[in-house]
Amino acid sequence: MSYARLILSASSKEALPTGLTKALPPRFAATPLIQHYLDNIFTLLPIFEEASLYASVDAVYHPDEAASAFDHWTVRMVLAISCLSQSEQRGDTLYSDAVGHVNAALEHAEEVLHPGFISNIQALILLVEYAMMDPHHFDSWTLIGAASRAMVDLGIHHDPPRRTSVSRAKLEVRRRAYWCIYALDRWVQFHSPCRVSLTSLRSTSLVQTRAFSFSDDAAQVSLPFHSSSASPKHSSPQAQVFLQSFDAALAYFRIREIQSEWYMDLFQSGREPWQDPYPYIWKTYASMTEWFQNLSASTLPSTKSFFELELFYSYVYILSPSPRIPHIHEYAQRLIFEHCIGYATNLLALISKPSNTTKPPVTFYDAMRAYMTGRQFVDVLSRNLDVILDPLPPVPPAPSAPQTTSEDPLAPPVQIAPPPFPLPVIAEGLTAPQDPTTRAIAAINDFTTILSRFGLRFGFTHWRDRFQRESTSLLQQLYHRSSVSPIPSPPNPAQPYHAQPYLFTPAANPAPPIHHGHPTTPPSIYPPQPSPFGTTHRTSPFAPPPDWTTPSPQQTTAMPDMPQPSEGRVRQALVYGPGLPMQSVEREGSDVGTTDANWNLGLGQS
């Protein structure tokens, strides 16, 4: 059996339809598809030079030139990936075109897929990109494993020694091949092995079953895109604009490095729980936040949205229960709640954009991690409902020092503070954030919508059905909580009112009038009645309706006597106010008491 047949037989799932081969489209029809690939996939995974891609296109579309098998493979796979990334539903026209282009590319598999050449690695990477969007026909995990093995066999995971004479172009191709395989390997292994234990809500956690194809310590390769021609000092403005597109690829490689490091520390280096894991968690959290804040200003908004999804998912991943952190802090639970909502909101906005616009492609792994993020959201909310739905923002825990030994034994321990609590996003059309219960209901519905669309796109609806079953009980609790006792938005901070005793003493000069912060209406002779327009007059839905007729005056309560005229010599004033102390002031010739427990009377002379 040949190497090509071995790879294809090991990675194939459903057989491709026989006889469904797409004819090569005219050049004017293929150009938008090629440009879509360059704008959305090539910016993150530039496996080869853009010029070499167009050289292959020219060779295929010019009958006078002898196009190689690799040229046909490259053009067909690029067209297939571009069509598949724009498909809205499995089985639509774009999906059928993609399958037809793959069938045409596989006709050259025996000449392209053979070990010992970098072109074999490039061909496998294109097949991995296709398999991530067509999980029915190919297993991307098997393909990235084969590409990693071929890369290690060629020694591409190490830069050549300095004394070795290697052309700059060849070194650039080697580095591109390594970093694209590295990013894809971390992407596939980081998402595909994760599964959710569904035995019970208490035992739900992210469980890892697969390791990386190769460790970070086993490789030593510098980043690409540092050739002499890439210097802006000696390049034209057009070349500088072209080179800026590599900023997204470099940022993509960097976040994969960060994820690989904490994934190994939390899940692959041991299973003994840490005594104090949060110094490490807060430090890792801060490094990923810094990575996102330092993105290049030339990063496209769609690419930045894609990176923000990576950030939210990584936040949820490291804050969730793991072998190192079996029990998570309440502050971490509140962060998971917020980041899951942010993830659902951003992902729904991304997949709602038209498929022919500039945006990173949606893969089957996005559907898997959407389910896992939604499941983690349901789990953390079910276990601590009242605390997480508290409208007041939580107080971060006190900073803690890492347990690692410093290089300077006399240096004080470095305090690592937890991240600040993110502010809730104000929904469109509102002026204030919604209460947590309403936001939780909206997030669960968003996850259901996302999984429904992914089910339509990839032909797998069991993720949506399973999530609906697992979230039904919580959703009913949230709807009941919202209808019975809706939680308002967090109130604005205000100075509390403290009642102070007011004492009135005789003064030589008339004192200015006293203005209280509360109404100063005198007490009524009628008993207090609730307002028919209020919301608190009915304590029970089964209580008899109140009587809104005017009651008779209370005969047992007498109005206080008004002060007698003083002929201008002595003035007596009767002061009413709710903030006055409860006391009876007795003076000669007058006897004044309280007429209601909420109203106090005072008597002063001047």
SS (H, E, C) 271-319: CCCCCCCHHHHHHHHHHHHHHHHCCCCCCCHHHHHHHHHHHHHHHHHHH
Residue 182 shares a structural domain with residue 303: yes
pLDDT averaged over the chain? 79
Does the structure show a pLDDT above 80 at 317? yes
| Unique residue bearing structure tokens 């807060």 | 282
Q: Tell me, yes or no, whether 550 lies in a domain.
A: no
Among 484, 506, 535, the domain-final residue is 484
Task: Tell me the pTM.
Answer: 0.75
Q: Angle at which helices 118-131 and 168-191 pack, to 10 degrees? A: 30
Residue 166 shares a structural domain with residue 311: yes
Over residues 438-481, the pLDDT tens digits come to 999 999 999 999 999 999 999 888 999 999 999 999 999 999 99
Both tokens assigned to 250: 């470099």
Cβ neighbours of 361 (radius 10 Å): 21
CA-to-CA distance for 424 and 461, rounded, in angstroms? 31
Over residues 231-283, the pLDDT tens digits come to 344 444 444 444 446 899 999 999 999 999 999 899 888 889 998 899 999 99
Q: What is the mean pLDDT of residues 531-541?
A: 44
Q: What pLDDT does 409 receive?
A: 59
What is the amino acid identity at position 86? Answer: Q
Instruction: Give 552's pLDDT tier (boundaries 50, 70, 90).
Output: low
Domain range enclosing 452? 3-228+235-403+414-484
Q: What pLDDT does 499 receive?
A: 39
Q: Tell me, yes or no, whether 350 lies in a domain.
A: yes
Among 466, 484, 502, the domain-final residue is 484
Over residues 58-89, the pLDDT tens digits come to 999 997 778 999 999 999 999 999 999 999 99
Residue 596 shares a structural domain with residue 463: no
Among 429, 462, 484, the domain-final residue is 484
Does the structure show a pLDDT above 50 at 24? yes
Q: What pLDDT does 13 receive?
A: 93
Both tokens assigned to 419: 């991240």
Q: What pLDDT does 412 receive?
A: 61
| Contact between residue 574 and residue 563 where contact means Cβ atoms under 8 Å apart | yes
Residue 582 shares a structural domain with residue 470: no
Give the three-state DSSP class for 5: helix
Q: What pLDDT does 432 receive?
A: 80
Does the structure show a pLDDT above 50 at 153? yes
Residue 170 shares a structural domain with residue 38: yes
Residue 159 shares a structural domain with residue 295: yes
Q: What pLDDT does 410 receive?
A: 57
Distances (CA, A) of 71 to 126, 467, 600: 13, 44, 95
Residue 479 shares a structural domain with residue 600: no
| Contact between residue 106 and residue 98 where contact means Cβ atoms under 8 Å apart | no
Q: Tell me, yes or no, whether 544 lies in a domain.
A: no
Q: What pLDDT does 310 receive?
A: 95
Instruction: Give 525's pLDDT tier (boundaries 50, 70, 90).
Output: very low
Residue 465 shares a structural domain with residue 338: yes
Q: What pLDDT does 254 receive?
A: 96
Q: What pLDDT does 399 receive?
A: 80
Over residues 90-123, the pLDDT tens digits come to 989 999 999 999 999 999 999 999 999 999 999 9
Q: What pLDDT does 413 receive?
A: 61
Q: Tell me, yes or no, whether 558 lies in a domain.
A: no
Q: What pLDDT does 132 receive?
A: 95
Over residues 386-423, the pLDDT tens digits come to 999 999 888 888 887 665 555 555 556 667 889 999 98
Higher pLDDT, 186 or 505: 186
Residue 125 shares a structural domain with residue 239: yes
Residue 129 shares a structural domain with residue 258: yes
Instruction: Give 565's pLDDT tier (boundaries 50, 70, 90).
Output: low
Q: Tell me, yes or no, whether 224 lies in a domain.
A: yes
Q: Tell me, yes or no, whether 590 lies in a domain.
A: yes
Q: For 511-518, which contacts have Cβ atoms below 8 Å and span 24 or more sequence positions?
A: 511/606, 514/575, 514/577, 516/577, 516/578, 516/579, 517/579, 518/577, 518/578, 518/579
Number of domains in the chain: 2
CA-to-CA distance for 222 and 232, rounded, in angstroms? 20
| Contact between residue 230 and residue 243 where contact means Cβ atoms under 8 Å apart | yes
Q: Tell me, yes or no, whether 472 lies in a domain.
A: yes
Residue 208 shares a structural domain with residue 338: yes
Both tokens assigned to 600: 């106090």
Cβ neighbours of 336 (radius 10 Å): 23
Over residues 181-234, the pLDDT tens digits come to 999 998 887 765 444 333 333 333 333 446 777 777 788 899 998 654 443 444
Residue 224 shares a structural domain with residue 323: yes
Q: Tell me, yes or no, whether 122 lies in a domain.
A: yes
